[in-house]
Amino acid sequence: MICDLNVIYPVTDFTTRITEKDLTKLKCGLSTLEQLGYTHVALNFRYSPQLVKKIPNNVNELNPIDVTQLQEFKERLKIFTRITVIANDTSQFQHIAKFQQVFDLVTIEPTNEKVLQTAISNLDLDLISMDMANRLPCYMKHKTVCSAVEKGIYFEFKYNDLINSSTRSMTISNIKQLIRASRSRGMVCSSGLDIDHLHFVRSYHDVVNLLCVIGLDNARASQLFKDWSSKVLLNGRLRVKSFKQTVVISGDDGLIDNRLETSVSAESKPGVSNTKMDASGYTHEKRKLDLLEREKAKLEAKKQKL
């Protein structure tokens, strides 16, 4: 499995819906990603509290990403939803618990050091996204970065900043700093694909080569797309599907699958307060070859013989 955890969904507000034009572009982007071999894709909704003041109270309306419009990718790609909160103040963290119920992944993009540190120590996040195109908000300390990785919060950088020639030099130095601080552990690389810059998308092999130049070894660089990305997805999905990672609801294939969930939201039941938490989609008929039934039948056959 090769993951791309950052495909930007062209919506800036909770209430606005995606336009037809943007949707076709997004579909183009997704199909190129599929052609390049990606299997798991997360659609990213970027939310900056300074621009968008109003948050809907109803939990169901909180997720602007409509996966049902992308039904044609159902068998080809596993699509997840993600929110990135661009935070410059710790007071903006109050809605994060709400977001955790509706999105598969919850991410923070800190713009100063204080936010970064409180996010690592207090919040239950999946990813911390760093804006590599500009100067980093602070010097990346080994201690803070490693404490995050130890907790299971990974760091993300986008490779489209590397490809864009205007931001390349800044990005290289920033990524080198992150690699140094994290001791090349616990990072995730994603495309950061924008619908206006679809030509920036690359195969993951190319990006791995590029990262080898910067200073990651080959095995680690490919882990950015495979192992560590899937661990991030697992962390996010377990928050939805399980109670504190003890008992997980299953019935679909694997711990990170969300196939059964999307089928529920398509029906959009009126009585359910939160479609992501609805368990009714997971019910299925009893298997034909049930162990207990078989054993009982054996017992009866034996009794009849006697």
The interface region with another protein, picked from 109-117, 188-196, 208-216, 244-252 by CB under 8 A, is: 244-252
Torsion angles phi and psi, residue 95, rounded to 5? -90, -5
Per-residue tokens: 109: 């993009």
Backbone torsions φ then ψ of 157, nearest 5 degrees: -135, 160
- Cα angle, residue 160 at apex, residues 186 and 39 outer, rounded to 5°: 65
Q: How many binding residues for another protein (CB under 8 A)? A: 44
188 vs 240, beta carbon nearer another protein: 240
Does position 182 interact with another protein (CB under 8 A)? The reply is no
Distance CA 276, CA 239 (A): 11
Between residues 192 and 236, which has the closer beta carbon with respect to another protein? 236
Neighbours of 278 (CB within 10 A): 17
Which residue, 23 or 277, has its beta carbon nearer to another protein? 277
Residues pairing with 40 in the sheet? 3, 78
Cα 155 to Cα 291: distance, rounded to the nearest angstrom? 45
Site for another protein in 270-299 (CB under 8 A): 272, 274, 277-280, 282-286, 288-289, 291-292, 295-296, 299
CB closer to another protein out of 14 and 282: 282
| Chain residues 126-155 in contact with another protein, contact rule CB under 8 A | 150-152
Positions 99 through 128 that interact with another protein (CB under 8 A)? 124
Q: Is 188 exposed, middle or buried (0-12, 13-18, 19+ CB in 10 A)?
A: buried
Instruction: Name the minimum Å distance from CB 60 to another protein.
Output: 14
Nearer to another protein, 23 or 234 (CB): 234
CA distance 60 to 229: 27
Q: How far apart are CA 104 and CA 93, in angstroms?
A: 17
Q: Does 97 bind another protein (CB under 8 A)?
A: no
Cβ distance to another protein smaller for residue 132 or 264: 264
Least distance to another protein, CB of residue 146, Å: 12
**Contact call for residue 28 and another protein (CB under 8 A):** no
How many Å separate Cα 202 from the centre of its chain? Answer: 19
In the complex, minimum distance from the CB of residue 154 to another protein, in angstroms, rounded to a whole number: 10
Instruction: Using DSSP, state whether 246 is helix, strand or coil.
Output: coil
Q: Cα–chain-centroid distance for residue 99?
A: 13
**Least distance in angstroms from the C-beta of 279 to another protein:** 5
CA nearest 257: which of 67, 32, 40?
A: 40
Site for another protein in 216-235 (CB under 8 A): 230-231, 234-235
Per CB under 8 A, residues contacting another protein are 124, 150-152, 230-231, 234-235, 238-251, 254-256, 272, 274, 277-280, 282-286, 288-289, 291-292, 295-296, 299, 302
